[in-house]
Amino acid sequence: MPSLYDIKPRFQALLRPTAARLAQKGVTANTVTLAAAGLSVLLGLVVAATGWPWLLLLYPPFLLLRMALNAIDGMLAREFFKPTPLGALLNEIGDMVSDAALYLPLALLLPAPPWLVVLTVLLAVIGEAAGIAARSIGAGRRYDGPFGKSDRALGFSVLAVAAYFQILAPALWMPLVLGALLLLSILTILNRVRAALAEIGA
């Protein structure tokens, strides 16, 4: 199914000069991966500890930065340095840690039942685990949509801004939207499992 992941090659093309400059300075892919995860955890901790509503406005620019760092670390690993097993592990673990750290604190700020936010985030992380688990049966890493990492970044950015500016009384519609995102997460898990099985002919 369609996903924002499909435009990743064009996004990478825009960032390739930056990746090249970082490589020239000796910045490794693992350094960028750890920086993205560390900044995500830091923002999540600040949101959880303070509950300041204005922090919702940081989500769109920060998630764009995080996507850029994720794209850059991949290019550094593939195009400028040799990919390593440690780098692959850090990349996958870092993504799931970042998702949990960034989105779970939104349960404190979004005008929706906290359990619904937590369940949506949990299923999103399970979706990433499903994509990784495909390798255990001999298939490739699955990135199938419709609610992959980039889609989540866009979705939660929109919800954060809508909540801050109280757009169209978000307390009325946000639980429904989160319910829809939850269903999209379930569909993503099913699509990744089905695609992995189809890839190996099972």
Q: Note the pLDDT of residue 83.
A: 87
Q: What is the per-residue DSSP string for 182-194?
A: HHHHHHHHHHHHH
Q: Note the pLDDT of residue 141.
A: 95
CB of 132 within 8 A of CB of 192?
Answer: no
- Please provide the size of the chain in residues: 202
Q: Note the pLDDT of residue 185.
A: 96
Q: Note the pLDDT of residue 14.
A: 87
Alpha helix (H) ranges present in 51-169? Answer: 59-75, 85-103, 114-133, 149-165
Q: Note the pLDDT of residue 12.
A: 81
d(CA 38, CA 139): 30
The CA-CA-CA angle for residues 155, 126, 36, to 5°, reads: 60
Q: Note the pLDDT of residue 3.
A: 54
Give the tokens for residue 71: 């794209």
Across the 202 residues of the chain, what is the mean pLDDT of every consecutive 10-residue run?
64 88 94 97 97 97 94 91 91 95 97 96 96 95 92 95 94 96 96 96 83
Q: Note the pLDDT of residue 11.
A: 79
Q: Note the pLDDT of residue 1.
A: 56
**Residue type present at position 14:** L
